[in-house]
Structure 1
Amino acid sequence: MESNIIFNKDFDSSSVYVMKIYDAEVSKVWDYFTKSELLNEWWAPKPWKCETKSQNFAEGGIWLYSMVGPEGERHYAQVKYGEIMEHRSFDGTDTFCDENGNVNPDFPEAKWLFGFTGVEEGTKVTVNIHFPNSEAMTKLIEMGFEEGFKMGLNQLEDILK
């Protein structure tokens, strides 16, 4: 059975809080969030695929990837990594961009903070996403972000089984 995902939207603080527990060791779950070849397996909601163009998982490093649709259409995005605490947490700034990493100014950037905590059931993953304003947050939600992200998190759960 898919474990529940908590997905709280707070428009007053322009933020989203997501929590999910995986039945796996912290180090294994960590790898699926930080290694491009593993991220490619689950980050995009099916039938879309995630394809990494480049990744440097280090403070100040960048993960440049595309979401590839069933018709071959591509949407590029990148995460610029901030502070990394091995097997505990990392943060990054997420933006839409072109294939060369040039940021698309039509879409606001979002600040993501990922947390990993060992619990009795396995690993609790928390994701805090902060938007510059509630309009930016609304725009992403209207693009289907909630459904897509939940789908990806559940895909990861299936992989970890």
Structure 2
Amino acid sequence: MPVISVEKDLDLLTITIVAEFAAPLRRLWDAYTDPRQIERFWGPPTYPATFLRHDAITGGRSVYKMTGREGDEHYGCWEWTSVQAPDAFEVVDSFADATGKPNTTLPTMRTAFAFEPIDAGSRLVTTSRFDSLEQLEQLLEMGMLEGTREAMSQIDTVLADLAAFAADRAVEAQVLSETQVRVARVIRGSLEQVWRAHNDADLLKKWLLGPDGWTMPVCEIAAKAGDSYRYEWENEVGGDRFGFTGELLESEEPSRSVTTEAMIGMDFPATLNELTLTPVEGGTLLSLVITYANAEQRDAVLATGMTGGMETSYARLEGILESAVA
């Protein structure tokens, strides 16, 4: 059992949990900051979690849902108030509604996560602070400690599963809900390199091409929120052409951007694309959450082999980044 101690301080209104793991500190840090990993242990086995957003940066947000065996869903959110990778981060942890908006009628915790190396691996100390004794007691009555113990008991399995999150794995798509899909891949390159590769027209024209035989004659970048962008591709042999356009809604260099995306000349509803870049061991984790109008549109896009084209592009990007370093 990873949890080695639990201390309740009713005077300071805190609960401190200490857990130890037979894994290096960086491996443990990545498990908490990678949405693919944390959702495998954040909820207890009876209420597994799905992270719909996860920004491991100061000022970022996370939104997650926990789903019971009867299909009941319970939402929560984090406001990231401080991040000092890979040693510590602090969040305001609240219950939420399905949109991710905090539920102010239920208790809110301010939780600090402190990571440190030890001889046997790494230690995690989480300290949760409450606004009142009533809030602390309410969460204890709701089973907070039991749920935390059950959740943390799953971390060892995630930490041991290195292959599932290795930098040499191809693009993977995970269905999050009826309308959402998360596409993820670790790209061998720094956070700054991967961000620039998505925001420099000259670079985009070199790697964002999908299968061989395509060029990108139109690459108009959105420089700031409110700007529109336009990308068009052309087949070198047949001359076939297609493209996408949309608006940049949010931009937080070098970690997050949010855009709309619509196929030029088609009547399909625009998607909402939320891109998050997170430094991890071996490179930068690219996480793209795509929200479709409905399940039919989601399934139709996935059936086109979208991830195959994306993998070809990201592999090409890695080659460009490696050449730049050599």
Question: Which segment is superposed worse, 127-136 or 101-110?
Answer: 101-110
Aligned residues: 160
Cα displacement (A) at 1:149: 0.2
2-structure distance, mates of 1:156, 1:55: 18
Runs (4 or more) in structure 1 with deviation over 6 Å come to none
Q: Could you say what the CA RMSD is over the residues aligned between the two structures, in angstroms?
A: 1.1
After TM superposition, give the deviation of residue 159 of structure 1 in Å.
Answer: 2.9
**Aligned amino acid, residue 6 of structure 1:** S
Q: Deviations over 1:17-66 (max 9, x none)?
A: 00011000101100111111101111110121101111222111001001
Question: Within the alignment, does 1:129 sit opposite 2:125 as a pair?
Answer: no
SS at match of 2:82: strand
Please state how far the C-alpha of 1:157 moved relative to its aligned partner: 2.1
Residue ranges of structure 2 left out of the alignment (5+ in a row): 161-326
1:136 aligns to what SS in structure 2?
helix
RCO higher in structure (CA 8 A, sep ≥6): 1
Residue by residue, what CA displacement relative to the aligned partner does 1:73-131 show, whole Å, maximum 9, x if unpaired?
Answer: 11100010011111100001000010112221211211000000001010010001000
Residue type matched to 1:76 in 2?
Y
Aligned to 2:59: 60
Contact 2:52–2:63 (Cα < 8 Å) also in 1: yes
Q: Which residue number corresponds to residue 86 of structure 2?
A: 87
- Tell me the residue number matched to 2:6: 7
Tell me the distance in 2 between the aligned counterparts of 1:3 and 1:62.
Answer: 27
Aligned partner letter, 1:107: L
Equivalent positions of 1:8-23 (< 5 A) are 8-23=7-22
Contact 1:13 1:134 in 2 (8 A): no
Aligned to 2:294: none
Q: Runs of 5+ in structure 1 lacking a partner?
A: none
Q: Secondary structure of the equivalent of 2:39?
A: helix
Q: Give the 3 Å change call, closer, same or farther, for CA 134–52 of structure 1 in structure 2.
A: same
- Listed as ranges, the matches of 1:1-161 within 5 Å are 2-161=1-160
- With structure 1 as the length reference, what TM-score do the two structures score? 0.95
Is the Cα–Cα contact under 8 Å of residues 66 and 77 in structure 1 kept in the other structure?
A: yes
Deviation at 1:151, TM superposition (A): 0.8
Tell me if structure 2 keeps the 8 A contact 1:80–1:93: yes
Which AA in structure 2 matches 1:94? D
Secondary structure of the corresponding residue to residue 29 of structure 1 = helix
3-state DSSP of counterpart to 1:18:
strand
